Chain A
């Protein structure tokens, strides 16, 4: 599945990094960045958690 991140919505809460450390990181200003755009079954649950806890609705998980 594909992960989409709208960085201009991000409020630097860090929640996605806590939920899915292998998929998200933060830049020098704390704004989220994507480490992986495609995630396999092993990471989908973590990304789902990130989508659920992101306070700014900046993350989407798209079925392909």
Chain B
């Protein structure tokens, strides 16, 4: 419809807000106030990125879900108009199907969906429980205070992905060390790149072994696709690396930032510590996913055909950013959205994104977090922060939001 075509982009450069915006100092769990203001003003607005480009920012739940579910919206970083990477420092390069569109995205994704089916993930629960109990034993046997990030939150997803991919026990130490360096705050970009290359080389080598001698693990099933001629060795390695990277820092930050949030909300922590109801633990996981919105820089996409939405036309070749964190605080969907309430029904949150790229690992992430939130505070009922809250350092600039370290005592 011609009369709803977008108006010209505002002339005055100051009229276009910069993205991302800073959070308020005293509200580390809340989205930036400027983002809330934009949400109040309407579902769509233009923003300016660090490189001067001006994609659309989509602030409301309904419009975000509509766009993320729309096949005219592309996740391919090479599509014209794709909003540039998060910061000048962010790495280059594509990582398997997360940056592809259907049908190739669907073809590759379906090769690795099997182990993430609900029943398969449930079968892993006892193994995850053992890992969590072992890490807590080590923590309790060690000195106080301890850094929960380093000693608990980061090792857990690393060990779980070892279990899933089929990394032999003897290589766990190598794997854990290197995956930690890949996301470590003090590592230089060179060290991170080096660790990433070593893990990739290791995975490529292990794939080679599983090609020759398959077992009952995910790497063997990926290797099977290579044998069948469906993908090549490089694509197989990228897939394994995507599964490793996508589930590592995300889960770790949900554990550490989640624990910090609970320590700051003692009534909620008490509910969790005193319950043996798995439904309440599961509900707490959904609520913390909603409330903490750790993938805070938004789902980024390019539009490949004009899309009419919310009285605007997003033109082919324009970029869109769906900031899920603000959709998870949309008062139309979540009443009193800024309150952390583990008893609320938060299941419709978009912390795992939406549309065909919605997190493949979500059943695993949920299960890991259920085991952690259901175990950690019961086994260490006196768990407490070892530093005042104002000394906790947040990852404001990082791709995934969280805390750099969380010194705890008990």
A interface, CB within 8 angstroms of B: 11-15, 17-19, 25-26, 28-31, 49, 52-53, 55-57
Contacts and interface: CB of A to CB of B under 8 A. Distances in A.
B348 A53 contact: yes
Chain B interface bracket (under 10, 10 to 19, 20 to 34, 35 or more): 20 to 34
Contacts of B354: 55
B114 A55 contact: no
Interface stretch (B250-258, B356-364, B379-387): B356-364
Interface string B362-389: 1100100000000000000000000000
A19 B354 CA distance: 16
Contacts of A13: 352, 358-360, 362
B113 A12 contact: yes
Contacts of A55: 68-69, 353-356, 358
B117 A12 contact: yes
Contacts of A19: 347
Given A17-B118, A29-B110, A12 B356 contact: no
Nearest to B353: A55
A1 to B, nearest CB: 20
Nearest to B364: A14
Which of A19, A49, A55, A56 has its CB near the most chain B CB atoms (within 10 A)?
A55
A13 to B, nearest CB: 5
Interface in B103-117: 106, 109-110, 113-114, 116-117
B26 interface: no
Interface of B: 68-69, 106, 109-110, 113-114, 116-121, 347-348, 352-356, 358-360, 362-363, 366
B69 A30 contact: no
Contacts of A26: 117-119
Contacts of A53: 347-348
Contacts of A52: 348
A30 B348 contact: no
A29 B358 contact: no
A56 B110 CA distance: 14
